[in-house]
Amino acid sequence: MNRNLLSQTLSGLLLIALGNSVQAGELPDKQAELKLAAPSPDAEYLKMRALSTIPQGAFGDKVRLGYQLFVNTQQLRGKYVGNELNCVNCHMDAGRKANASPLWAAYLAYPAYRKKNDKVNSYQERIQGCFTYSMNGKAPESGSEPLVALSAYSYWLAMSGLMDKYGVAGAVPELSDEELLKGGKREDFVLPEAIAKATSLDERAKLPGRGFPAIPKPEQAYSPARGEQVYRAHCQSCHGENGEGVAMAGVYSLPPLWGPNSFNWGAGMHRVNTAANFIYENMPLGKSIQLSHQDAWDVAAFVVSHERPQDPRLKEGKVADLAERYHKHQGYYGQSVAEGVVLGTQSYPINPAKQ
Ligand code: HEC
Ligand code: HEC
Q: Which among 67, 80, 90 is the best mutation to test ligand 1's pocket, defined by most ligand atoms within 8 Å of the CB?
A: 90
- What CATH number does residue 276 fall under? 1.10.760.10
pTM for this prediction: 0.91
Specify whether 176 is located in the same domain as 111.
yes
Reported confidence tier of residue 264, pLDDT bands at 50, 70, 90: very high
Specify whether 162 is located in the same domain as 37.
yes
* Composition of the chain by helix, strand, coil, percent to 5: 40, 5, 55
Specify whether 106 is located in the same domain as 192.
yes
Q: Is the residue at 215 inside a domain?
A: no
Q: Is the residue at 64 inside a domain?
A: yes
Specify whether 97 is located in the same domain as 246.
no
The total number of structural domains that make up the chain? 2
pLDDT tens-digit readout, 58-111: 999 999 999 999 999 999 999 999 999 999 999 999 999 999 999 999 999 999
Specify whether 102 is located in the same domain as 75.
yes
C-beta of residue 24 within 8 angstroms of C-beta of residue 310: no
Q: Which among 36, 68, 130 is the best mutation to test ligand 1's pocket, defined by most ligand atoms within 8 Å of the CB?
A: 130
Is 31 close to ligand 1, i.e. is its CB under 6 Å away? yes
CA of 101 to the centre of ligand 1 (A): 7
Nearest to 28 by CA among 292, 352, 349, 267: 267
pLDDT tens-digit readout, 283-314: 999 998 899 999 999 999 999 999 999 999 99
Specify whether 201 is located in the same domain as 228.
no
Domain of residue 14: give its range: 2-205
Specify whether 191 is located in the same domain as 316.
no
Specify whether 253 is located in the same domain as 134.
no
Specify whether 79 is located in the same domain as 194.
yes
Q: Is the residue at 269 inside a domain?
A: yes
CA of 153 to the centre of ligand 1 (A): 15
